[in-house]
Chains A and B, each alone.
Chain A
Amino acid sequence: MASPYSKELLLDMYRKMYLIRRFEERAGQQYTLGKIAGFCHLYIGQEAVAVGPVEALRPDDYMLSAYRDHGQPLARGSDAGMVMAELMGRDTGYSKGKGGSMHIFDIEHHFYGGYGIVGGQIPLAAGMAFASRYRNEDRVTVCYFGDAAASQGALHETFNMASKWKLPVIYICENNRYGMGTAISRVAAVPEIYKRASAYDMRGEPVDGMDVLAMYEAVKDAAEYCRAGKGPVLLEANTYRFRGHSMADPATYRTKQEVEDERKGDPIPKLRAYIQKQGLAQDDVFETIEEEVNAQVDQAVKFADESPEPSLDELWRDTIVEEGEEDVRPRERVLGQKVNWPTYPSGKELKVTWDLEPREQAEAADKKAGLVR
């Protein structure tokens, strides 16, 4: 049967997944060389969870993540050198080296950050989706979080509001089975995270997170649902990280056998095999892509390594917005490239037409509850 996906789309997915893999391998290597410090959470094994959704979304849809946050911005088109520079704490990084590995922000590509407090980004995403509804825009927000974050109160408080107010937000739980070293099944009464959506009358589904096409389809469908105003969606991407929780973690809580077994489901060779089976590309095409990406990542490492540390003046910037101060546009600042920046209607132009809780609806609810006779 012919593939329902174009060759361009499939090869683009392959290129992005391979870019993340290669970038992360080199990041791990730079960490062991002492060029990257602090916490560094690699995405190796989970590439499909970032790439499938990015391909299924519009470029102006909002996205944010937890601290395992290198994969999504790379998939969205962030400059690999500037991401690597951020990891190395250099002035040419997306946050001028102030954020590091856990806090990649690239607003130009609508990537609204990596967050270091488990589950802390979950309410933010609902608020971004709220803003879209408030302004009557049809964009969706996609929020990543790990399996361990599903036990945070932030998730439950947010799901309740997101569902009640039908906010256009897709939550993607990256269930890699371990919150640091603790298996989710040891600490969760209901380890199937997607089931939690049902408590809030919200759509929730499991997805094979090791299959980029499954991720693509799930998010495409969820985005349509959100854009139609039907409310939020929870997708549980069942995935696996091939490396430890962070570079500091030797991962002794799981067996070598388990990791070996999981590696058989590696999403990158899986996609390659699919493309080859469809007869859309053969070895030479993949070799060319891989060579190009290897060179791109080599260049990224070189760029980062040759970049200076931020100047000490930077200590006193970016804490308080001074009057009349503009926002920093990283690629413009670092590479001198003109970039598109999100703009929003002013308070005079904006007309709020949304009625979050129509009076009739509220009165009907009162009646149903026996409050009004």
Chain B
Amino acid sequence: MPELMYREALNQALAEEMERDANVYLIGEEVGRYNGAFKVSQGLLDKFGSARIIDAPIAELGFTGLSVGAAMVGLRPVVEMMTWNFAILAMDQIVNNAAKLRHMSGGQLRCPIVFRGPGGAGGRLSSQHSQALEANYAHFPGLKVIAPATPADAKGMLKAAIRDENPVIMFEGERLYAIKGEVPEGEHVVPLGKADVKREGSDVTIITWSRMYYFCMQAAEELAKEGISAEVLDLRTLRPLDEEAILASVRKTNRAVIVEEGWALAGVGASVVDIIQSKAFDDLDAPVERVTGLDVNMSYAANLENATQPDAPKIIAAVKKVLYREGA
């Protein structure tokens, strides 16, 4: 299986889907002649032309709404957000239009559209450019929210998102784009709404998504050296949550740690805890622990930035807490 970078996997998915379906177009800032701010759309303008790879003005609300309108009448737009921080300007169109069209029209309209771009901390960019905003979108009925961690999932889930009949919000990551992994060629479609056990274990379940996955895997390896067997469950989709997979894993290990890059209050992890406590309370041997970004704005200074985010040592400490092996 060929090894690709995350950005190349996305590029492959886009090219394949655009080849398959002429209704698919890509719009965003710098996606065309610049080949993408993060090079996800490298080479696509030459391949598909300027009506399908569209350099938009810096007007997030405008080009997002324009694409929602195009989706209402049969096109299948992919809207690239240079980062999700900028998409806050477009939130009205995503939340008040895309997510509600089917409902407001009583089932007459559908809005097959993908909004995608990097979320989370990029690295030394301070507070306006370093936010993990997936919980915001996971809140809204009418949307699907995905956050794949690996290149293979990035490709397979983008393909599934483009084929989906609903608005799909896709969180990638500036620090994920250069990560390499094996990616199946051709028709590789990963269904939305399905979590994936990325590492099997028996003592504790570490539940995560997106870039935090790599810290969790690192922590699991460290823990293995101490004889602790951690299962890593990659949620991949945040709306709808894969309750079945969450409960199956927790019922097996009886302990859970949830790791998310974003803030704790009203985070996605809080909803995962709710699922566990309401449906698997009797299976738990310890209260569920959460490792999240600190409840502060992100700083520029390297030491402050690092301290704000979850990392492997914080995850290891949380695992030991649920195993009552603190200080061990």
- Inter-chain CA distance A194–B69, complex, in Å, is 23
- Inter-chain CA distance A355–B32, complex, in Å, is 13
- Inter-chain CA distance A97–B93, complex, in Å, is 23
- Inter-chain CA distance A99–B108, complex, in Å, is 12
B73→A96 contact, CB < 8 A: no
Asked if A123 meets B61 with Cβ closer than 8 Å, knowing A117-B96, A348-B22, the reply is yes
Set of chain A residues within 8 Å of B141, measured between Cβ atoms: 319-320
A120 close to chain B: CB less than 8 A: yes
A307 close to chain B: CB less than 8 A: no
A4 close to chain B: CB less than 8 A: no
CB distance from A307 to the nearest CB of B (A): 14
A347→B73 contact, CB < 8 A: no
- Inter-chain CA distance A352–B25, complex, in Å, is 10
A122 close to chain B: CB less than 8 A: yes
Set of chain A residues within 8 Å of B109, measured between Cβ atoms: 105, 107, 112-113, 327
Set of chain B residues within 8 Å of A158, measured between Cβ atoms: 62, 65-66
Set of chain A residues within 8 Å of B63, measured between Cβ atoms: 123, 157, 161
Bitwise interface map of A from 274 to 308 toward B, beta carbon under 8 Å scored 1, else 0: 00000000000000000000000000000000000
A356 close to chain B: CB less than 8 A: yes
Set of chain B residues within 8 Å of A96, measured between Cβ atoms: 106-107
CB distance from A361 to the nearest CB of B (A): 9
- Inter-chain CA distance A223–B155, complex, in Å, is 43
A46 close to chain B: CB less than 8 A: no
Set of chain B residues within 8 Å of A164, measured between Cβ atoms: 57
Bitwise interface map of B from 85 to 100 toward A, beta carbon under 8 Å scored 1, else 0: 0000000110011000
B73→A352 contact, CB < 8 A: no
CB distance from B96 to the nearest CB of A (A): 5
B69→A94 contact, CB < 8 A: no
B123 close to chain A: CB less than 8 A: no
Set of chain B residues within 8 Å of A320, measured between Cβ atoms: 102, 141-142, 144, 166
B20→A154 contact, CB < 8 A: no
- Inter-chain CA distance A333–B305, complex, in Å, is 57
A134→B61 contact, CB < 8 A: no
Bitwise interface map of B from 51 to 67 toward A, beta carbon under 8 Å scored 1, else 0: 11011110101111111
Bitwise interface map of B from 1 to 37 toward A, beta carbon under 8 Å scored 1, else 0: 0000000000000000000111111000000110000
The stretch of A25-33, A71-79, A124-132, A246-254 in contact with B is A124-132
Bitwise interface map of A from 319 to 353 toward B, beta carbon under 8 Å scored 1, else 0: 11101010111100000000000101011101110
Q: Which residue of A lies closest to B66 (CB)?
A: A127
Given A122, A317, A346, which contacts B107 in the complex, CB threshold below 8 Å? A317
CB distance from B247 to the nearest CB of A (A): 22
- Inter-chain CA distance A351–B21, complex, in Å, is 10
Given B21, B61, B102, B105, which contacts A347 in the complex, CB threshold below 8 Å? B21
Given A127, A323, A354, which contacts B71 in the complex, CB threshold below 8 Å? A127
- Inter-chain CA distance A97–B106, complex, in Å, is 8
Set of chain A residues within 8 Å of B97, measured between Cβ atoms: 115, 117, 120, 124
A355→B69 contact, CB < 8 A: no
- Inter-chain CA distance A96–B104, complex, in Å, is 9
Given A94, A161, A352, which contacts B57 in the complex, CB threshold below 8 Å? A161
CB distance from B40 to the nearest CB of A (A): 20
Bitwise interface map of A from 78 to 111 toward B, beta carbon under 8 Å scored 1, else 0: 0000000000000001111111000101110000
Q: Which residue of B lies closest to A152 (CB)?
A: B61
B56→A98 contact, CB < 8 A: no
- Inter-chain CA distance A352–B50, complex, in Å, is 10
- Inter-chain CA distance A160–B142, complex, in Å, is 29
Given B24, B62, B65, B73, which contacts A344 in the complex, CB threshold below 8 Å? B73
Q: 7 extra interchain contacts, Cβ-Cβ under 8 A, other than A128-B69, A131-B74?
A: A95-B103, A95-B104, A95-B108, A96-B106, A117-B92, A154-B65, A359-B50
Interface, chain A (partner B; CB < 8 A): 62, 93-99, 103, 105-107, 112-113, 115-117, 120, 122-132, 134-135, 153-154, 157-158, 160-161, 164, 317-321, 323, 325, 327-330, 342, 344, 346-348, 350-352, 354-359, 362
Q: List 22 A-B contacts (CB under 8 A).
A: A105-B104, A112-B73, A120-B93, A120-B96, A122-B65, A123-B69, A124-B66, A124-B72, A124-B97, A127-B65, A127-B68, A128-B69, A129-B69, A131-B70, A134-B70, A161-B63, A161-B66, A318-B102, A330-B108, A346-B23, A348-B22, A350-B23
